[in-house]
């Protein structure tokens, strides 16, 4: 009887472990799919913004207000509807808005003679960071929570400095902030994906939002760096 109970106990434990692993894999798979899908409205929004020049009609100060109100408004809505059928459409609407807001920088970079090459370099660099962090997330075993708190403080400080630089317009500060953003948000990709793989994040919409924001910031920072350092008027 004891042997039978022991076997049953092992079987039950094993079954729960497989189910848990399956759930983690499902969330991770859905996160990757939704992340890929989110690129479509982002590209569409960026293309419309570049073609129409709608964001260039706004002053830097007004553009900043529109961006902050729109971004935080969408993020609040995503959090509110993340467990309902409306969650995915709201997230995709957010990525369209973010693409539209990116068009101002894209238009400047595309105005260079080698602008298209710079955009592709930024895209390739962002992809390389994502692949590297995704691979690392399946290897790293240590708890990253303490580092995440430190990085969050860093992200807030960078955000404040970035807002200030909208009015200061310092190239040196922009380069410094861009490098910091790339480092900080590369870590957040690793952190967010690891939380999914560890079963700490079970909502794929929330997971997608976190990774998307990190990729967006990295791409924008690389684009700014390449535009400052490698832009050609030829």
53: left (phi over 0), alpha (psi -120 to 50) or beta: left
| pLDDT score of 195 | 93
Cβ neighbors of 55 (< 8 A, separation 6 or more) are 49, 63, 100, 101, 103, 104
Pair 105, 55: CB distance under 8 Å: no
pLDDT truncated to tens, each residue of the chain (234 aa)?
444 333 334 433 333 444 488 888 999 999 999 999 999 999 999 999 999 989 888 888 898 899 999 999 999 999 999 999 999 999 999 999 999 999 999 999 998 889 999 999 999 999 999 999 999 998 988 888 888 899 999 999 999 999 898 888 888 999 999 999 999 999 999 999 999 999 899 999 999 999 999 999 999 999 999 988 766 655
Tokens of 219: 């791409």
| pLDDT score of 231 | 62
For tokens 């004891």, name the residue: 2
Give CA–CA dist 106/207, Å, rounded. 26
Cα dihedral 83, 190, 95, 219, rounded to 10, equals 180
Pair 211, 93: CB distance under 8 Å: no
DSSP 98-149: HHHHHHHHHHHHHTSTTHHHHHHHHHHHHHHHHHHHHHHHTT--S--HHHHH
| pLDDT score of 99 | 97
For tokens 């969408």, name the residue: 74
Give CA–CA dist 192/214, Å, rounded. 10
| pLDDT score of 174 | 92
Question: Domain coordinates of the chain in residue numbers?
Answer: 2-230
């Amino acid at each position: 009887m004891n042997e039978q109970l022991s076997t049953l106990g092992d079987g039950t434990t094993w079954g729960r472990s497989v189910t848990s692993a399956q759930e983690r894999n499902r969330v991770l798979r859905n996160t990757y799919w939704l992340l890929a899908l989110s690129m479509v409205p982002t590209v569409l929004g960026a293309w419309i913004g570049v073609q129409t020049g709608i964001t260039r009609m706004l002053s830097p100060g007004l553009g900043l207000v529109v961006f902050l109100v729109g971004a935080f408004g969408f993020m609040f809505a995503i959090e509110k509807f993340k467990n309902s059928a409306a969650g995915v459409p709201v997230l995709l609407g957010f990525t369209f808005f973010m693409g539209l807001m990116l068009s101002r920088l894209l238009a400047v970079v595309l105005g260079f003679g080698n602008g298209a090459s710079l955009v592709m370099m930024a895209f390739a660099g962002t992809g390389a960071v994502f692949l590297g962090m995704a691979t690392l997330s399946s290897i790293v075993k240590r708890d990253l929570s303490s580092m995440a708190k430190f990085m969050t403080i860093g992200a807030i400080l960078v955000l404040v400095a970035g807002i200030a630089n909208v009015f200061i317009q310092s190239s040196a500060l922009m380069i410094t902030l861009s490098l910091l953003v790339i480092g900080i948000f590369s870590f957040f990709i690793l952190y967010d994906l690891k939380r999914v793989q560890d079963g700490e994040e079970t909502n794929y919409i929330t997971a997608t939002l976190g990774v998307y924001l990190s990729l967006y910031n990295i791409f924008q920072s690389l684009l700014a760096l390449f535009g400052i350092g490698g832009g050609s008027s030829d």
